Amino acid sequence: MKTLEELRQIRQKAQNDLKMRTSSYKYKIVVGMGTSGIAMGARDVMKSFLDEIAARNLKDILVSQTGEKGLSSLEPVVDIIEEGKPTITYGNLNPEKARRIIIEHLVNNHIVNDYVVTTKD
């Protein structure tokens, strides 16, 4: 270790692994994992999110789950929560659509209007 700069580089890399334990993130993806959600493939949708996040090495994203949301006919349902912005709820998802949401919404910051069910403040 020769400089502080070197230490800070290691730190930045290492902080990623600890992100989960701090509550600093930009997007929070909440997958509805109620019985109907799971029956409609919510786990595959979630896996697809996780896969895509890892593949693109995205940061500041937290994947979480919740129970039944009451929108059984639209399952799998996913909320994208961003601080200071309305919560976007997507429905009728599948792994392919999940991937598209990551790319368009979380990376390029364009909401995928085709899949939006509701938006809420």
Binding residues (CB under 8 A) for other proteins: these are 1-4, 7, 10-11, 13-15, 17-18, 20-21, 23, 25, 31, 33-34, 38, 43, 46-47, 49-51, 53-55, 58, 61-67
We find the least distance from the C-beta atom of residue 100 to other proteins, in angstroms, to be 17
Helix (H), strand (E) at residue 7: helix 4-18
> 65, 26, 71: which is closest to 46 by C-alpha?
65
32 or 91: whose CB is closer to other proteins? 32
| Sheet arrangement for strand 78-82 | 61-66, 27-32, 78-82, 87-90, 116-120
We find the least distance from the C-beta atom of residue 37 to other proteins, in angstroms, to be 9
